[in-house]
Amino acid sequence: MFSTFPILYEDESIVAINKPPGIMVHPTKITEDDQFILPLLVAQLQQEVFAIHRIDRGTSGVLLFGKNKTTVRALSKQFQEREVDKMYVAITRGFAPVSETIDYPIAREPHLPKRKAVTHIKTIHTHELPVPIGPYQTARYSIVKAFPQTGRRHQIRRHLTHLRYPVIGDKRYGDNKHTRYWREELGIDRMLLHAKELAFMHPANQQLIRLEAPFGETFQKAFELLNFKG
């Protein structure tokens, strides 16, 4: 299914790819997947690399790796100390607020304590489709930029659902009626969340690196359906 990944940036100590949806970074105890980004990327580059952060299986976009442990430690510290700027783009159900700060603690697992989680959002486009879904005669959607200040598990997805603007295609936290409509009627069967931008200080020279991942064909199709010109 997957063999190689588009390289967004590479030098002697770091490499960034545009992650496709539908693949995890590395194995977990509960997954039954048989392909993972880390071993495939090692084979593609013909050298060892280490994951610095993760994004969900269903999410696409910028994913950063280090080529040595010194670089990984330095960049991991930037993530931990919230010195990395991240921007995601999501398509959500409903007309989301023009701007909002979501300060809502979440737990990694239900039995664990909740931890502070903050996401800033900005709606850049709204559109209404003349189709009845559920009790409503039309279907409203938003294109939202999300800026996570913290890095909790599934943070953006959970925060948008908390506001009642779930991400389209999110089978865990989303709206099943709208996910089904997009899959069966519009031909889009993925979670519409994309890690668009990532900015950090290069640990080797302290230069600002700003990476941007192009949208894939499915996202472009979704934009056209929502009459978004970008």
Catalytically active residues, by annotation: 56
Local structure of 99: helix, strand or coil: strand
* Cβ-based neighbour number of residue 74 at 10 Å: 18
Concatenated DSSP letters of 45-89: HTS--EE-----TT-EEEEEEESSHHHHHHHHHHHHTT-SEEEEE
d(CA 185, CA 168) in angstroms, rounded, equals 14
d(CA 45, CA 39) in angstroms, rounded, equals 10
d(CA 100, CA 29) in angstroms, rounded, equals 36
Beta-carbon contacts of 203 under 8 Å, excluding residues fewer than 6 positions away, are 13, 70, 71, 74, 75, 78
